[in-house]
Amino acid sequence: MADEIKINRSEGTTIITPIVIPRPEHKISRANISENAVKVLYRLKNAGFQAYLVGGGVRDLLLGREPKDFDIATDAHPEEVRRVFSNCRLIGRRFRLAHVHFGRDIVEVATFRGNVDPDAEVDHESENGMLLRDNVYGSIEEDAIRRDFTVNALYYNIEDFSVVDYVDGVKDLEAGVLRLLGDPETRYREDPVRMLRAVRFAAKLGFLINPQCEKPIFELGDLLDDIPAARLFEEVLKLFMGGVSLNTFEKLRHYDLFGRLFPDTEEYLSHEEFGFPVTFVNRGLENTDNRIAEGKPVTPAFLFAVLLWEPVRQMANRMMANGDSPLQAMQQAGNEIVFRQSQRIAIPKRFSLPMREIWNLQHRFTQRNGKRPLRLLSHPRFRAAYDFLLLRAEGGETEMELANWWTEFQEASEEDKNRMMSQPKGDSEGVKRKRRRRRKPKVKKQDQE
């Protein structure tokens, strides 16, 4: 077990000698830490407490990346933190965290957590070994070893600006390795979301998951079924909205985790008869990544619309073959797939409603006569639905001519718009085809299961 972190215990306390990297030997500078986080660190220190930056903030700064957020760890108890800051709220029932508010910015301050003797309080564990016990406060050493990966357990000390490493995390950071602290299977069983975190960090940082930590993932994916749907929603956003969603998706599939999150989608992806569903999801995710790279907004509604499209489309096609109108079919298929998906991932209504609109508007793009195009153009969800149409057209699911028409129509002058609406259209999914369909519903070959 050379890869496991050694923990020396003496009389119940954990004693580990840290590696301390002094300021001149690392590249974390206060200038790269958010002003508010620096304020919180200094205020805690000046009040006589220990204060460290920890987690992703330290990891990313050491890698020369821009951190998403800055978390702070301290030996001050939550009530003591509150006494130091007037702009502070305590949250969480089982483990209290302090949120220090600066306008809209929130700096999270956590008291060092200690895990009591792992053999104690066994009755608080679920059947699968998931950690249900309440956490207790502890020392910085204990706080370090209960974190997930070694590279996430590094501390930046505001006292002397050094980086404190209890777990050989700097070595792993330099080698580009993700290594869980402790026994991997036990740690995944304690919290199965760590498997998703492993994949997310591997994709985001371009790191390798250490082989001992990688192997159990293939076997333990079903533990994700026990994770509350609301927590999985948060995790899915982090997985797919971090700018490397395509890579993350491919890794999730590699580790058999994608199907745990999106069982209906996986069902179609695994058939891959026409290479079609995979490329649609791939293209949709690539599109999301590009938008993030360009600083354009991305919405979870569009992301979920992409991820769930294949099962929705196939179900709607079956319903249309049975005589339902395109809108009826799409609405019912949407209901059914969203209901099934919500057993795994709780998509809040503020995202699932616009997602459904993106789907429901698709058939309206085929109606290009009279005033209908103008009405569609003024629909609040037009832009997202149009982007979605482009994705479909790029994959050959609908005619490119249709997508091009809408591209042109949006930019056309009033006069040209009128001309375009009255001109005969290419017979893609237009009026003629609709008439034909009414007599004998025809399903495209690739739509059949």
Give me the active site residues, please.
Answer: 69, 71, 148
Stretch touching Mg ion by CB under 5 A, among 62-70, 97-105, 121-129, 174-182: 62-70
DSSP three-state, residue 177: strand
Instruction: List, in order, residues 6 or more apart from 253 with CB less than 8 Å away.
Output: 259, 266, 269
Give me the helices (H) in 322-371, please: 326-342, 349-361
Q: Which is nearer to Mg ion, 69 or 394 (CB)?
A: 69
Among 64-72, 298-306, 331-339, 389-397, the segment contacting Mg ion (CB under 5 A): 64-72
Give me the least distance between CB of 64 and Mg ion, in Å please: 17
Two structure tokens written together for 257: 């985790």
Chain position whose Cβ is nearest to ligand ATP: 56
Let me know the angle formed at the C-alpha of 20 by 19 and 24, rounded to the nearest 5 degrees: 140
Where does this chain touch Mg ion (CB under 5 A) — which range of 66-74, 157-165, 220-228, 380-388? 66-74
Q: Which is nearer to ligand ATP, 57 or 277 (CB)?
A: 57
C-beta of 95 vs 102, nearer to ligand ATP: 95
Closest by CA position to 406, among listed 380, 397, 388, 301: 388
Min dist. Cβ of residue 133 to ligand ATP (A):
14
Contact 285, 262 (CB under 8 A): no
Q: From the list 19, 38, 45, 69, which residue makes contact with Mg ion (rule: CB under 5 A)?
A: 69
| Piece of 45-53, 63-71, 253-261, 288-296 that binds Mg ion (CB under 5 A) | 63-71
Determine contact, residues 16/34, Cβ cutoff 8 Å. Answer: no
Query: Residue 397 binds which one of Mg ion, ligand ATP, none, with CB within 5 to 8 A depending on kind?
Result: none
Q: Is 56 in the site for Mg ion (CB under 5 A)?
A: yes
The one-letter amino acid code at 434 reads: K
Phi, psi of 98 (to 5 degrees): -105, 130
Question: Considering the rule CB under 5 A, would residue 108 count as an interface residue with Mg ion?
Answer: no
Q: Summarize as ranges the residues that interact with ligand ATP (CB under 6 A).
A: 55-56, 68-69, 71, 147-148, 152-153, 191, 193-194, 238
In this structure, the strands spanning 13-15 and 51-54 are unpaired
Shortest distance (Å) from residue 191 CB to ligand ATP: 5
Nearer Cβ to ligand ATP (152/352): 152
In the chain, the amino acid numbered 168 is D
Contacts of 83 (CB under 8 A, 6+ apart): none
230 exposure class (CB count in 10 Å sphere: 0-12, 13-18, 19+): exposed
Give 70 or 359: the residue with its C-beta nearer to Mg ion. 70
Identify which of residues 170 and 337 has a Cβ nearer to ligand ATP in the complex.
Answer: 170
CA dist list (Å): 205 to 29, 170, 201, 213: 21, 14, 6, 17
Which of ligand ATP, Mg ion, none has residue 143 at its interface (CB below 5 to 8 Å by kind)?
Answer: none
**Contacted entry of ligand ATP, Mg ion, none for residue 185, CB cut-off 5 to 8 Å set by kind:** none
- Report CA-CA distances (Å) from 222 to 95, 197, 256, 260: 27, 15, 9, 7
- For 300-321, b where at least 16 C-beta lie within 10 A, e where not — what string? bbbbbbbbbbbbbbbbbbbbbe
Q: How far apart are CA 150 and CA 175, in angstroms?
A: 12
Distance CA 268, CA 377 (A): 32
Kindly state the smallest distance separating residue 213's Cβ from ligand ATP, in Å.
13
Q: Which is nearer to ligand ATP, 62 or 355 (CB)?
A: 62
Q: Which is nearer to ligand ATP, 55 or 334 (CB)?
A: 55
Rg (CA), the chain: 26
Which one, of 137, 245, 232, lies nearest residue 191 by Cα?
Answer: 232
Q: How far is the CB of 219 from ligand ATP (least distance, A)?
A: 19
| 137 bridge partner residues | 113
Give me the residues that bind Mg ion (CB under 5 A), please.
56, 69
